[in-house]
């Protein structure tokens, strides 16, 4: 059972940071996973009054506040138009609308959960996290860092990529994913992220030859199949109650190949 002794609505990020340095205090976020925990919280820190629930778009980037809900990500027209619907595809099967109206991107990214669709899709983008004390860090580096008591302020996504695909496999529609996969290509980079292994998502680079061909829409079936086999062979998987290690490794190969095929088809249409 979760027990909270005192609730504090933070008046500034600095106040929230100072309070969060005590181990018995915690940031509330959307409070969806927290309420399922068995712990005593001295002070629960609410960031909802700090204006961090907005998605700001500039010519070069999207700036997504940590209190932005998954439902807001799902429904944001500009973000989903730019990402070819990948962001919507990543969050639309997470439990249900009521859940997505409360769950936040800050909680999803800062938690670095193994099952996170959100972490997987943003890893395949040129994404960064802005920490209150730690500054701006590439998301793929942040994902490998140990958790600390800093505060994730926002996620920053650069608009320097152009084609995305997000796929996942679930045993049932709103269940945790068995495996997640996001792939992106542009003129200089090709990234593949795979999560729910069941460990947290990792990002791999596409080979230059395949990236160029996929971007142009001229990659052959055999080339995409071999690329999927080679990259999936480098991704460690394990077993849990949802799937076995071998099945996840097979899924990784299948989802990567399907993602490449979709991007290749897009490249051929341009």
What distance in Å separates the CA atoms of residue 47 and residue 138, rounded to the nearest whole number?
23
219 and 150 belong to one structural domain:
no
pLDDT tens string 219-256? 999 999 999 999 999 999 999 999 999 999 999 999 99
Task: Please give the pLDDT value at position 113.
Answer: 92
Q: What's the angle, vertex CA 94, arms to CA 155 and CA 98, rounded to 5?
A: 95
214 in any annotated domain: yes
* Reported confidence tier of residue 269, pLDDT bands at 50, 70, 90: low
Boundary of a domain, candidates 142, 158, 174: 158
Query: With 80 as the cut, is the pLDDT of residue 36 above it?
Result: no
* In a domain? residue 50: no
Coil, strand or helix: which one is 98? helix
Alpha-carbon span 109 to 131, nearest angstrom: 12
CATH of the domain at 72: 3.30.465.10
Q: Are residues 32 and 63 in the same domain?
A: no
Tokens matching residue 158? 């650069």
Regarding whether 150 and 97 lie in a shared domain, the answer is yes
- 60/33 same-domain check: no
Residue 47 resides in a domain: no
pLDDT range class, residue 2, cuts 50, 70, 90: confident
Q: Give the pair of three-digit tokens for residue 129.
A: 């996290």
Token code pair at residue 229: 């086999």
Q: What is the DSSP letter of 104?
A: B
Domain housing 66: 55-158
Beta strands in 117-262 (DSSP E): 127-131, 135-138, 152-158, 163-170, 177-185, 190-195, 202-205
Contacts of 116 (CB under 8 A, 6+ apart): 108, 109, 180, 195, 196, 200, 201
Longest dimension (CA), the chain: 61
Q: What are phi and psi of 209, to 5 degrees?
A: -65, -45
pLDDT tens profile 45-104: 999 999 999 999 999 999 999 999 999 999 999 999 999 999 999 999 999 999 999 999
Domains identified in the chain, total number: 3
- CA-CA distance, 85 to 171, in Å (whole number)? 22
pLDDT at 270: 59
- pLDDT value at position 255? 98
Question: Do 92 and 17 lie in a common domain?
Answer: no
User: Is 139 within 8 Å of 64 (Cβ atoms)?
Assistant: no
Mean of pLDDT values over 31-58: 90
Prediction pTM value: 0.94
Q: Do residues 78 and 127 both lie within one domain? A: yes
Rounded to 5 degrees, φ, ψ at 97 are -60, -40
pLDDT per residue as tens digits for the range 202-226 = 999 999 999 999 999 999 999 999 9
Q: Is residue 131 part of a domain?
A: yes
């Amino acid at each position: 059972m979760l027990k909270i002794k005192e609730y504090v609505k933070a008046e500034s990020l600095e106040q929230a940071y100072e309070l969060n340095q005590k181990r018995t205090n915690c940031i509330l976020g959307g409070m969806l996973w927290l309420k399922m925990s068995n712990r005593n919280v001295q002070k629960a820190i609410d960031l909802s009054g700090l204006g961090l629930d907005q998605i700001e778009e500039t010519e070069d980037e999207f700036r997504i506040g940590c209190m932005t809900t998954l439902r807001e990500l799902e429904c944001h027209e500009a973000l989903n138009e730019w990402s070819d619907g990948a962001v919507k595809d990543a969050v639309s099967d997470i439990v249900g609308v009521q859940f997505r109206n409360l769950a936040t991107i800050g909680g999803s990214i800062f938690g670095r959960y193994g099952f996170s669709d959100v972490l997987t899709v943003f890893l395949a983008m040129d994404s960064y996290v802005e920490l209150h004390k730690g500054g701006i860090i590439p998301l793929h580096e942040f994902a490998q860092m140990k958790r600390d008591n800093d505060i994730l302020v926002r996620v920053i996504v650069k608009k320097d990529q152009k084609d995305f695909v997000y796929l996942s496999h679930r045993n049932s529609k709103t269940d945790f994913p068995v495996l997640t996969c996001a792939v992106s290509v542009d003129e200089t980079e090709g990234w593949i992220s795979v999560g729910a292994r069941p460990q947290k998502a990792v990002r791999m680079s596409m080979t230059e030859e395949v990236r160029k061909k996929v971007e142009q829409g001229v990659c052959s079936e055999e080339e995409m199949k071999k690329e999927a086999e080679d990259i999936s062979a480098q991704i460690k998987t394990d077993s849990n109650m949802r799937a076995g290690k071998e099945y996840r490794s097979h899924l990784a190969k299948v989802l990567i190949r399907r993602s490449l095929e979709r991007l290749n088809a897009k490249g051929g249409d341009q």
